[in-house]
């Protein structure tokens, strides 16, 4: 009887405590509003990552004197003043930023020749791919006049164009004019070939194309994890039409103050909430990025593509599968890179590594070694590039950000393999095969193949891990 009384008493105490807790967790109206803003802001960051990524690139282009329907280009391989996300320092970039709000836009791509080829992709401002360019693209390397139509365009397109229907008014084209070697003559030749690209309104003058050189100029397109993220998101919402798939976000964005046709003017309290939300979203995305390497591309290695298959497929199909959207994977992708190809693996493929072979994060204060096996299965070239682990941009101040097989100074071994060294200082006699690191931070490595062959996907060739040199 006594034991039973104790049980009843304990239960009563627990219920009383529960009731007390429940009353304590009743929110005021102000608290509910604040929690709603915070919650919806986190989701807005994840949903809107590719748009803010695009707006940052366009902002950087504008700050360098470029306008829409002009071509931003780099007259030499990019250095760390280019702070776009994971750029390739072993090619010549040309980036037309198009705007079809006043009508269709033409982009002419020159044909490949014995020494030159242009490869790339047309992307809408959501960074979903419209078409690939080059030998693996629609023109098959023969060159073509591509015609971009604005949303809702009803007129019949004229003959003689490869026609693309854009779901947004704006977008960009990532084009790479590849060079044979890093000699000044070959780089200039690649630039001259790239400047055969033309961008103009339908019916306009091809020779009116404007090129803006951004080489060695500050070009910061890293993602801002502060309240300015939402200013960029608002800029996108004001400029682009709502897609049916995204209308669910209309009320969510209104909650945080973003509404089409209205000014975005958060007060100090709201801005503080947004600051916290974007930082939380960044941590969520970074965690998903880390976990994306848990299924490696090569079994038993750290190399991977930390973007889910449904996201990769969706980016090339405008998310045509009615049962998939791949939002989380898309946020992961665009927090650390820009652009998506129509068909990943047709013209290029990428593998990323953030750890050494022992599973430890790559540390700029340590030295590492990697042997790239002979006969890499690629039609064009491979490259290895180092990026800042926090920003996913080139490491600021490094004299050399990468090493590639199209660099004649890189020394190969007798069997055709290539030894690559990473660290704060070069091993004696290995300077030509060394990529410097910043001893004050962590880094990640991106391995690129341009024109990957089927042997690569059949796993007949395998890239080993980086090993720490002690």
The reported pLDDT for the residue numbered 2 is 43
CA–CA distance, 446 with 452 (Å, rounded to integer): 15
Any idea how long the chain is?
Answer: 470
- Specify whether the CB–CB gap between 83 and 393 falls below 8 A: yes
pLDDT class for 52, splitting at 50, 70, 90?
Answer: very high
The reported pLDDT for the residue numbered 16 is 53
The reported pLDDT for the residue numbered 14 is 45
Q: Report phi then psi at 124, rounded to 5.
A: -75, 175
- Specify whether the CB–CB gap between 384 and 404 falls below 8 A: yes
Q: Is 30 helix (H, G, I), strand (E, B) or coil?
A: helix
pLDDT in tens, 10-46: 444 544 554 544 445 689 999 999 999 999 999 999 9
Q: Take residue 2 and report the two structure tokens written for it.
A: 């006594």
Q: Is 32 helix (H, G, I), strand (E, B) or coil?
A: helix
Which of 333, 292, 291, 303 is closest to 316 using CA atoms? 333
Q: Would you say residue 8 has pLDDT above 50? A: no
CA–CA distance, 54 with 48 (Å, rounded to integer): 10
Question: Rg of the chain's alpha carbons, rounded to an integer?
Answer: 25
pTM: 0.92
CA–CA distance, 290 with 279 (Å, rounded to integer): 17
Q: In order of start, what are the domains of the chain with their CATH numbers?
A: 36-294 (2.60.40.1610), 347-469 (2.60.120.600)
């Amino acid at each position: 009887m006594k034991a039973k009384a104790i049980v009843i008493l304990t239960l009563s105490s627990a219920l009383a405590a529960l009731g007390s807790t429940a009353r304590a967790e009743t929110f005021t109206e102000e608290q509910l509003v604040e929690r709603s803003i915070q919650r919806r802001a986190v989701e807005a960051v994840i949903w809107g990552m590719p748009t803010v990524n695009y707006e940052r690139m366009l902002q950087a282009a504008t700050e360098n004197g470029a306008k829409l329907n002009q071509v931003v280009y780099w007259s030499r391989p990019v250095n760390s003043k280019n702070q776009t996300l994971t750029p390739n320092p072993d090619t010549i970039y040309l980036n037309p930023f198009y705007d079809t709000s006043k009508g269709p836009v033409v982009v002419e791509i020159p044909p490949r020749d014995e020494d030159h080829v242009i490869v790339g992709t047309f992307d809408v401002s959501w960074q979903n791919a419209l078409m690939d360019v080059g030998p693996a693209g629609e023109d098959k390397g023969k060159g073509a006049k591509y015609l971009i139509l604005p949303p809702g365009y009803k007129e019949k397109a004229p003959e003689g164009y490869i026609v693309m229907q854009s779901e947004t008014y704006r977008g960009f084209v990532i084009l790479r004019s590849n060079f044979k070697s890093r000699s000044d003559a070959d780089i200039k030749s690649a630039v001259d070939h790239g400047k055969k690209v033309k961008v103009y309104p339908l019916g306009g003058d091809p020779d009116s194309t404007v090129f803006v050189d951004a080489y060695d100029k500050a070009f910061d397109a890293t993602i801002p994890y502060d309240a300015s993220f939402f200013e960029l998101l608002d800029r996108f919402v004001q400029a682009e039409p709502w897609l049916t798939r995204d209308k669910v976000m209309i009320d969510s964005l209104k909650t945080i103050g973003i509404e089409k046709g209205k000014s975005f003017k958060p007060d100090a309290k709201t801005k503080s909430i947004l600051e916290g939300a974007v930082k939380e979203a960044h941590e969520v995305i970074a965690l998903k990025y880390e976990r994306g390497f848990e299924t490696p591309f090569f079994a038993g290695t750290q190399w991977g593509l930390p973007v889910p298959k449904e996201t990769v497929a969706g980016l090339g199909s405008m998310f045509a599968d009615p049962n998939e959207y791949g939002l989380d994977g898309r946020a992961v992708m665009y927090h650390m890179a820009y652009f998506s190809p129509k068909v990943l693996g047709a013209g290029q493929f990428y593998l990323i590594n953030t750890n050494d072979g022992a599973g430890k994060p790559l540390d700029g204060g340590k030295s590492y070694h990697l042997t790239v096996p002979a006969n890499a299965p690629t039609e064009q070239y491979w490259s290895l590039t180092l990026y800042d682990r926090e920003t996913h941009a080139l490491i600021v101040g490094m004299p050399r950000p990468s090493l590639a097989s199209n660099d004649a100074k890189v020394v190969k071994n007798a069997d055709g393999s290539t030894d690559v060294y990473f660290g704060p200082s070069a091993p004696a006699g290995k300077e030509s095969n060394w990529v410097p690191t910043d001893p004050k931070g962590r880094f990640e490595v991106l391995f690129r193949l341009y024109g990957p062959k089927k042997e690569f996907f059949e796993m007949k060739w395998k890239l080993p891990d980086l090993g720490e040199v002690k």
